[in-house]
A and B are shown apart, each in its own frame.
Chain A
């Protein structure tokens, strides 16, 4: 019963008293919540996780012998993202397809459109987390304990292999490019663009003379359109072209490698030797990489054997159960208390009982009632009754 409308039910909420009053409901809800959530840990499908820790040393990105061709990175955040990208590159669709096929992780056929979705889901189960700028954990989640470990091993091998392949591929591309330039420069340095012309011009001239004689002889019997005549004329034109190019009075034709700022220049010995030196360095670097793989990438922690499922975690579920129990209890208490505290007013109650409502005592603070503190510290005085005052 609310004595007055001015009194809010929320004014007097005794939290401890509420807990004491509803302790049974709270205890039951907590027990139900814990039981339900713990029970669900036995029913839900389990997930196991195997992880390995990899370190990609900064040396991986440094090539002191060929700095000019492979610029080095010094920005730590850029290096970190570069490392992460390299790891992610390992898990391309082709690899994931092969892995899924090999381990029987896919349900759909390889040609079906669902396969792409399954490959994406498989990719999501591979977690890459950076511990530091150089160190990363690569983990795999699966519902079979043994298979999780085996797949994780494959994944780690794949990452290490991909990292080496990427580095070698970059260096090899540069080496091949330099090699092509060196070969081109060596050919152009002789001054003869056509190898045949530069090799035997006299022989060509002799052949040309012979061809002319043959053409003359044939023209006596056939017209100029005869195929045999045509064949000989074509050959003559070809040889004439070669000899024309090989003529000493013709200006030189330069290879692109010999053009600097669009102007032809003489290929110096220094440039050639410099390129040759770099080519040698790159070859040395590739030879070195074959023997010093562990200097670039290290597997700090090999794939771990999953002992307990990461999902459903009993401790976490127990906590969830307790929280749910508390929340449900709080809701029950709130609803119950709301209905309790918003009970009809005393007037309504009186009406319900068919009784008159007599009224209410005034709400007066004691300090305003006029009953001032007495000064009675001395010996007890004779009582003066109120009748006597009046």
Chain B
């Protein structure tokens, strides 16, 4: 809730939900097409360049996108990076949806990459193509369904299975500080990936959270590629 004189003198303040809705794109916006526009920005290409370098140097095939807080834009970042890989350098990318909790105020990978207009039979496929060039999507929980181990342990299985057909797999994880039942542990997933990338936004721009992130990274000893920022298209 933004602070202002209006909030003191009784002007109606928009609720957090309303603010989130204001920041969210309308249901009518064609998000896959919008992402194609976003990847053409120099800022996106800069991130892509860093990742391509890392890919060359480390033989990077799987990348986990981490963030401390929910609604920091992990899905948007994952979809943008996947779209830029697929569209700008023609690499085949698999986006792995590791989320379980769907907040009404968060964008989903399905909406960002597939659009709601996909047929039901296409949605049933475990690894399915999207509206973005060279980008496919799979839900980790769906992939691990029926297996005896936890879905987090199936990262390698996924990479050795359908992942072989892709140049890069991007794991869109849950927030590290999120506390939802049945969440897939982002740290466990990141450990099983070749590298991880930490996404920060205004939500985590506090000393306390920064300290927590530092301690967490020190404790977990993750292989971090670097830090990227979501300027705030989404929360």
| A3, B225: Cβ atoms closer than 8 Å | no
**Per a CB cutoff under 8 Å, which of B37, B119, B227, B233 touches A363?**
B233
**Which residues of chain A (346-367) have a CB below 8 Å from chain B?**
346, 349-350, 352-353, 355-366
| B202, A3: Cβ atoms closer than 8 Å | yes
**Which residues of chain A (362-390) have a CB below 8 Å from chain B?**
362-366, 368-374, 376, 380-381, 383, 385-387, 390
**Per a CB cutoff under 8 Å, which of B35, B117, B200 touches A1?**
B200
Closest to A4 in B: B231
Number of B positions contacting A (CB below 8 A) = 63
Give the complex CA separation of A380 and B201 in angstroms.
Answer: 37
Binding site for A on B (CB under 8 A): 1-3, 7, 16, 25-26, 28-38, 41-44, 46-47, 50-51, 73, 76-77, 80, 87, 117-119, 122, 129, 131-134, 197-198, 200-202, 204-208, 210, 214, 217, 224-233
| B7, A3: Cβ atoms closer than 8 Å | no
- Give the residues in chain B near A343, CB-CB below 8 Å: 205-207, 210
Question: Which 4 pairs between the two chains have the least Cβ-Cβ distance?
Answer: A371-B34, A373-B28, A360-B229, A369-B34
Digit string of A86-118 for contact with B (CB within 8 Å is 1, else 0)? 000000000000000000000000000000000
With known contacts A380-B117, A386-B131, A387-B133, A358–B3 Cβ distance under 8 A:
no
With known contacts A346-B227, A357-B226, A362–B29 Cβ distance under 8 A:
no
Closest to B134 in A: A387
Binding site for B on A (CB under 8 A): 1-4, 7, 9-17, 339-341, 343-344, 346, 349-350, 352-353, 355-366, 368-374, 376, 380-381, 383, 385-387, 390
| A366, B229: Cβ atoms closer than 8 Å | no
Give the complex CA separation of A319 and B51 in angstroms.
Answer: 60
In the assembled complex, how far is the CB of residue A232 from the closest CB belonging to chain B, in whole angstroms?
Answer: 108
Inter-chain pairs besides A362-B38, A371-B29, A386-B132, 13 sampled, C-beta below 8 Å:
A4-B231, A341-B205, A357-B228, A358-B46, A358-B51, A359-B43, A360-B229, A360-B231, A361-B76, A371-B25, A373-B30, A380-B119, A383-B117
Give the complex CA separation of A346 and B227 in angstroms.
Answer: 7
- Give the residues in chain B near A360, CB-CB below 8 Å: 43, 47, 228-231
